[in-house]
């Protein structure tokens, strides 16, 4: 950058303890809780994110000539591909079979969180176009300095994706299932947008789910440590059943309650006065994000009620525009959650490997969009006479 008032400096910090919530959040904003200082620092301070867990923070900060941080990026040096939800295990295997070294790689993401949101964080009063270019160049330079095989920016916004593709990144399109609020007055109003058969099915599921349990929604000051204790046990039960890895430790949930209680929306089910299951959501400015589910015992239809229908209830009551129900799950379509595209951008250092990945992504995009169209056309529960 030229000398003078327009000079900016790009710095790398190895943890949010090297900055402050005021500095970081001035760039992150308050639309999406997952890129907030509070959420990301809870991951680091609990030990869920660290060099030992294979997520070494390498966050970028951009300072202006006066030393004010005007942009930032949550970035991590990764020694594996766990906890990302945009899968590149096949790429790693192919590259290493050909004699390359895929790890470490540089990952721009919110760890363990398949939620779309900003990844290039820029203060509202900053020059967005210029700083987006600065951040992109800074990430590429960091990738070169760390001698990584690749740089991955996952679950970024469509606008960021378009910019990155314009800078030579490879485009990747995935899918999730989201519910959109069409201005519904209440849940029955939403049901009126569905076919008769789907309305009856959902009413039956809700009736069955609520026969044996009591459900409450807890947020803010109503959340207590005993609720986080219960939820953590449910979380571990889900991990054990799926033969998965418990990425989040118990301390994370305490820090989440301490730092973001107003954003946490916990749907808690109890039987005979004892907690038996729960769905953990986080609320953004206009979206409710479903994150984790777990239970201690099996109750019919409770999963659908706690994770999907209560989320819709909450969104309608609080005038939220959308519910994002997390990764995977075509079974969500019949509950009103339609396929939605997600976006990632990938920068590969090795030219030959880049060409191979680009060819793979071209075919994957075509297959994914064809599958999305088929799912919505054949499985959508909405009436055909409505305009969506």
> What's the CATH number for 182-320?
3.40.630.30
pLDDT at 5: 54
pLDDT at position 2 is 38
Domain boundaries, the chain: 9-175+341-375, 182-320
Q: Which stretches of the chain drop beneath a pLDDT of 70? A: 1-5, 242-243
- What's the pLDDT score for residue 243? 62
**Two domains, one topology: 9-175+341-375 and 182-320:** yes
Architecture of domain 9-175+341-375: 3-Layer(aba) Sandwich (3.40)
pTM of the model: 0.95
Q: Tell me what pLDDT residue 241 has.
A: 74
Mapping DSSP onto H, E and C, the string for the chain reads CCCCCCCCEEEEECCHHHCCHHHHHHHHCCCCHHHCHHHHHHHHHCCCCCCCCCEEECEEEEECCCCCEEEEECEEEECCCCCCCCCCHHHHHHHHHCCCCCCCEEEECCCCCCCCCCCCEECCCCCHHHHHHHHHHHHHHHHHHCCCCEEEEEEECHHHHHHHHHCCCEEEEEEEEEEECCCCCCHHHHHCCECHHHHHHHHHHHHHHCCCCEEEEECHHHCCHHHHHHHHHHHHHHHHHCCCCCCCCHHHHHHHHHHHCCCEEEEEEEECCEEEEEEEEEECCCEEEEEEEEECCCCCCHHHHHHHHHHHHHHHHCCCCEEECCCCCHHHHHHCCEEEEEEEEEEECCHHHHHHHHHHHHHHHHHHHHHHHHHHHHHCCECCCCCC
């Amino acid at each position: 950058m030229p000398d003078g008032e327009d000079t900016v400096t790009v710095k790398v910090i190895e943890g949010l303890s090297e900055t402050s919530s005021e500095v970081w959040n001035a760039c992150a904003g308050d639309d999406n809780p997952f890129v907030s200082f509070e959420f990301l620092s809870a991951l680091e301070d609990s030990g869920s994110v660290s060099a030992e867990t294979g997520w070494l923070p390498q966050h970028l900060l951009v300072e202006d000539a006066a030393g004010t941080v005007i942009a930032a990026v949550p970035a991590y040096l990764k020694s594996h591909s766990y906890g990302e939800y945009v899968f590149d295990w096949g790429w790693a295997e192919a590259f290493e079979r050909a004699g390359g070294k895929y790890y470490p790689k540089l990952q721009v993401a919110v760890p363990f969180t398949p939620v779309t949101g900003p990844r290039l964080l820029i203060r509202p009063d900053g020059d967005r176009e210029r700083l987006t270019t600065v951040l992109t160049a800074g990430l590429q330079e960091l990738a070169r300095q760390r001698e990584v095989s690749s740089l991955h920016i996952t679950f970024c916004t469509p606008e960021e994706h378009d910019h990155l593709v314009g800078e030579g990144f490879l485009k990747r399109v995935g899918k999730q299932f989201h519910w959109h609020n069409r201005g519904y007055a209440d849940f029955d109003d939403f049901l009126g947008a569905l076919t008769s058969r789907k309305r009856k099915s959902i009413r039956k599921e809700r009736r069955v789910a609520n026969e044996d349990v009591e459900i409450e929604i807890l947020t803010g000051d109503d959340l207590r440590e005993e609720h986080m204790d219960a939820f953590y046990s449910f979380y571990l039960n889900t991990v054990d059943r799926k033969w998965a890895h418990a990425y989040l430790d118990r301390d994370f949930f305490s820090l989440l309650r301490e730092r973001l209680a107003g954003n946490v929306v916990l749907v808690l089910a109890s039987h005979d006065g004892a907690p038996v299951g729960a769905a953990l959501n986080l609320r953004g400015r206009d979206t409710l994000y479903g994150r984790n589910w777990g239970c201690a015992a099996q109750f019919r239809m409770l999963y659908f009620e706690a994770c999907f229908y209560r989320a819709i209830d909450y969104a309608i009551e609080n005038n939220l525009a959308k519910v994002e129900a997390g990764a995977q799950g075509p079974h969500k379509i019949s509950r009103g959650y339609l396929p939605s595209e997600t976006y990632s951008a990938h920068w590969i250092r090795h030219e030959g490997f880049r060409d191979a990945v680009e060819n793979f992504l071209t075919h994957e995009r075509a297959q994914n969009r064809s599958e999305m169209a088929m799912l919505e056309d054949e499985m959508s529960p909405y009436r055909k006479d409505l305009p969506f």
